[in-house]
């Protein structure tokens, strides 16, 4: 049985018996539309569309959709039903308020700033972790509604909207659509760029919410106290008081093992300050490496560390980072005169050394193996106006150290012995050292991490950086104090250290090494100075104690303390808010909230049906669809529901013409090789020309 061909009919809309549609559904899924007359409800003689399969094999089911869509009779207002209105406005209000959730998240994060870890805080952190997934979804819903409502609102205005603008705005309901419209429409470039920039805020907003909170130790500033040689009463170095305390500090430092001498801290856990390397850039900051000290490439300014107090900002364990200023005296020695007598040395020998027996074996003192003398230039005469013409410490003329060693195993003959004499220069050096301390109630450990050279000036006649050399050059007593610091039974303690030998006689096992000898002489001399200055409290003060009022600069009791600002980080974690990402989140969320409010306001002014962006809207006023007039008030979803069973396709509706014509038409169930259908339509071809 041949299938009837499709014919055009003139529908009489005035006939009262035109009541609806019926759909034939065949067993092969072909859907046909039947227009029929139903004046008496029993006659269906109107030609329509039937299945193209043989009648004896067809099983036909009737589906009545007259309650669905009847364009000829569908007359309605633009007002939605009550149920649809409630659902629609509930969704719009919830969507408008959705950005407020992220304002709440930002507020919750601010309240957690500097607060300890808690169950509530962990819930907020979990919400921030979800933000990169949730924020783009909310952003897409709010922004797409805004662009859609903006396009619909402008479309209903009296002056209308340019088609290119409509395409650009309505088609930019997601990031991919915005990029596509910008690249291919290319009619409204500024509008496209503006829309694209708005969509680019979506991932940034999600990432800003994810980076809103972090957990780290509580950080605050604190004050740390430390000893500084320039703030001390340096007259103690030439004093003979408290020799036993000085001896205890000095001898303990040098009697320790080789590994202890290279340790980052001294016996009492005070951090040691390294010497500034001779070839280091004075304008740079260098890292301090323990390996260099262990290999002997570097040495400490003193074996006694710097005294630190006030590490009590937190009861729990905390880390302190701060910088301290230190003064030490750098000594550089020339190759010695070996085996010379006082009467034939090239060095200028003071009169106090004329009686060598009393010099090395004083009747009222402790026998010693060395003698030392310091001479300093008269800076008052050289720089009469230091206040108006300050001079860098590095540019000052050096002081001099005369250091003589005697062999204790050789007896005196005629009050004389052969000597080994060193002539050394002394320069004051001021360094700033970065210190890191991990402090708790139980223990504290500190170490030096970085160092830089400080530029200091001789700008007054009582300059604290040159005061020690001035004092020691005026009193010829350093050799008695220094030798006494070794103790009675440690007469070779200092010579063995500076010569880097363990023998009981002063000798250079590997020959004289100027750099090594000078650095060790520097360490020995500054250890002696520190022992005489800090003998009162070096062994018992605690890191966590606050210094007493009598230790402030200018007092005479104890060791005067300087102050420095420290960055204190508690090991007990707290929540910290990233203020930069918080600001970004608030700004983007404000923009998102504005889009939500504008989208809701535009919704109030929109009257027409929502037909943009729906495939069912292509059936409106489409002469090739052969639909009866009516249904203009239906929106896209309603029209799609009414015509849900209508099969459509994009085809060439003028297959016999030289140039084809592409149209959106019903997809008939006729086969292409049916002679009745031949010439009514054909598939699209990339080689054919179309109007």
Measure the CA angle with vertex 208, ends 205 and 214; round to 5°: 155
Tell me how far apart the alpha carbons of residues 600 and 509 are, in angstroms, rounded to a whole number. 92
> Encoding tokens for residue 512?
């004289």
Least confident of 330-334, 504-508, 607-611: 504-508
Mean pLDDT throughout 333-339? 87
392, pLDDT greater than 70: yes
> Encoding tokens for residue 511?
């020959």
466, pLDDT greater than 60: yes
Q: What is the pLDDT of residue 550?
A: 64
Confidence of residue 624 (pLDDT cuts 50, 70, 90): confident
Between 72 and 478, the more confident residue is 478
3-state secondary structure of 620: coil
Strands 561-577 and 318-333: antiparallel
Mean pLDDT throughout 260-279? 91
Measure the CA angle with vertex 522, ends 519 and 526; round to 5°: 145
pTM equals 0.63
Bridge partners for 567 per DSSP: 221, 321
Q: What is the pLDDT of residue 21?
A: 36
H or E segment and range at residue 497? helix 493-498
649-664 burial, b at 16+ Cβ within 10 Å, e below that, comes to eebbbbbeeeebeebe
* Main-chain dihedrals φ then ψ at residue 185, nearest 5 degrees: -70, -50
47, pLDDT greater than 50: no
User: Considering the chain, what is the average pLDDT of its residues?
Assistant: 79
Between 46 and 79, the more confident residue is 79
Range list of H helices, 34-162? 82-97, 100-112, 119-156
Which of the residue ranges 170-174, 265-269, 473-477, 496-500 has the most confident prediction, judged by mean pLDDT?
Answer: 265-269
84, pLDDT greater than 90: no
Sign of the Cα pseudo-torsion (444, 445, 448, 449, in order): negative
Report the candidate in 68, 67, 58 with the shortest Cα–Cα distance to residue 27: 58
Tell me how far apart the alpha carbons of residues 513 and 507 are, in angstroms, rounded to a whole number. 12
3-state secondary structure of 453: strand
Mean pLDDT throughout 301-320? 88
> Encoding tokens for residue 465?
């950086």
Mean pLDDT throughout 613-622? 82
Q: What is the pLDDT of residue 332?
A: 94
* Main-chain dihedrals φ then ψ at residue 37, nearest 5 degrees: -105, 135
Q: What is the pLDDT of residue 238?
A: 61
Confidence of residue 63 (pLDDT cuts 50, 70, 90): very low
pLDDT tens digits for range 405-416: 887 666 666 566
Report the candidate in 503, 645, 538, 686 with the shortest Cα–Cα distance to residue 29: 645
Q: What is the pLDDT of residue 53?
A: 33
pLDDT tens digits for range 89-123: 899 999 999 999 999 999 999 999 988 889 999 99
Which residue reads 């004083």 in tokens? Answer: 362
Bridge partners for 391 per DSSP: 458
Confidence of residue 139 (pLDDT cuts 50, 70, 90): very high
Report the candidate in 548, 545, 563, 496 with the shortest Cα–Cα distance to residue 524: 496
Tell me how far apart the alpha carbons of residues 594 and 600 are, in angstroms, rounded to a whole number. 10
> Encoding tokens for residue 6?
């499709």
Residue 351 carries which DSSP code? G
Mean pLDDT throughout 394-403? 92
404, pLDDT greater than 50: yes
Which residue reads 């016996």 in tokens? Answer: 267
131, pLDDT greater than 50: yes
In contact, 477 and 315? CB cutoff 8 Å = no
* Main-chain dihedrals φ then ψ at residue 576, nearest 5 degrees: -130, 135
């Amino acid at each position: 049985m041949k299938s009837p061909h499709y014919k055009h009919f003139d529908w009489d809309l005035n006939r009262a018996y035109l009541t609806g549609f019926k759909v034939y559904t065949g067993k092969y899924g072909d859907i046909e539309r039947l227009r029929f007359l139903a004046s008496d409800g029993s006659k269906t003689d109107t030609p329509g569309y039937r299945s193209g399969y043989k009648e004896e094999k067809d099983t036909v089911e009737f589906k009545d959709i007259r309650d669905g869509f009847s364009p000829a009779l569908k007359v309605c207002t633009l007002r939605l039903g009550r149920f649809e209105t409630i659902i629609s406005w509930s969704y719009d209000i919830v969507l408008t308020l959705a950005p407020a959730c992220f304002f709440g998240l930002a507020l919750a994060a601010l309240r957690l700033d500097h607060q300890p870890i808690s169950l509530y805080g962990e819930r907020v952190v979990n919400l921030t972790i979800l933000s990169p997934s949730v924020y783009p979804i909310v952003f897409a819903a709010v922004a797409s509604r805004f662009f859609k409502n903006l396009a619909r609102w402008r479309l209903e205005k009296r002056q209308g909207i340019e088609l290119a603008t409509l395409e650009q705005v309505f088609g930019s309901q997601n990031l991919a659509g915005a990029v596509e419209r910008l690249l291919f429409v290319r009619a409204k470039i500024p509008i496209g760029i503006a829309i694209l920039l708005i969509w680019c805020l979506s991932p940034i907003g999600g990432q800003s919410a994810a980076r809103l909170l972090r957990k780290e130790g509580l950080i605050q500033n604190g004050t740390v106290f430390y000893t500084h040689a320039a703030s001390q009463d340096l007259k103690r170095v030439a004093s003979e008081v408290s020799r036993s305390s000085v001896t205890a500090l000095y001898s303990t430092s040098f009697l320790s093992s080789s590994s202890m001498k290279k340790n980052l801290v001294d016996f009492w856990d005070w951090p040691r300050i390294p010497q500034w390397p001779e070839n280091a850039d004075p304008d740079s900051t260098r890292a301090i490496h323990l390996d260099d000290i262990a290999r002997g490439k570097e040495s400490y300014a003193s074996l006694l560390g710097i005294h630190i107090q006030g590490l009590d900002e937190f009861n729990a364990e905390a880390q302190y980072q701060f910088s301290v200023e230190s003064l030490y005296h750098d000594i550089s020695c020339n190759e010695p005169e070996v085996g010379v007598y006082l009467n034939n040395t090239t060095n200028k020998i003071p009169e106090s050394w004329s009686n060598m027996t009393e010099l090395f074996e004083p009747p009222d003192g402790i026998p010693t193996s060395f003698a030392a003398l310091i001479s300093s230039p008269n800076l008052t005469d050289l720089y009469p106006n230091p206040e108006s013409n300050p001079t860098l410490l590095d540019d000052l003329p050096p002081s001099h150290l005369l250091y003589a060693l005697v062999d204790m195993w050789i007896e005196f003959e005629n009050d004389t012995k052969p000597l080994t004499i060193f002539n050394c220069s002394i320069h004051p050096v001021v360094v700033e050292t970065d210190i890191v301390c991990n402090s708790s109630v139980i223990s504290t450990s500190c170490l030096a991490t970085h160092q830089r050279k400080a530029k200091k000036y001789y700008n007054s006649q009582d300059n604290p950086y040159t005061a020690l050399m001035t004092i020691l050059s005026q009193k010829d007593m350093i050799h008695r104090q220094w030798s006494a610091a070794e103790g009675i039974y440690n007469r070779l303690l200092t010579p063995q250290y500076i010569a880097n030998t363990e023998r009981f006689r002063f000798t250079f096992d590997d020959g004289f090494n100027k750099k090594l000898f000078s650095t060790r002489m520097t360490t020995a001399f500054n250890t002696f100075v520190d022992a005489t200055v800090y003998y009162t409290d070096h062994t018992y003060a605690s890191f966590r104690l606050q210094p007493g009022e009598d230790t402030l600069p200018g007092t005479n009791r104890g060791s005067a303390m300087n102050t420095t600002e420290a960055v204190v980080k508690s090991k007990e974690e707290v929540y910290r808010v990233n203020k930069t990402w918080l600001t970004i989140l608030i700004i983007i969320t404000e923009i998102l909230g504005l889009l939500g409010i504008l989208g809701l306001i535009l919704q109030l002014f929109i009257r027409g049906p929502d037909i943009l962006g729906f495939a069912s809207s292509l059936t409106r006023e489409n002469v090739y669809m052969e639909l009866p007039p009516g249904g203009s008030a239906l929106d896209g979803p309603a029209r799609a529901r009414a015509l849900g069973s209508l099969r459509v396709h994009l085809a060439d509706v003028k297959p016999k013409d030289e140039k084809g014509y592409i149209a959106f038409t019903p997809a008939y169930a006729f086969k292409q090789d049916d002679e009745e259908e031949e010439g009514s339509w054909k598939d699209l071809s990339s080689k054919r020309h179309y109007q």
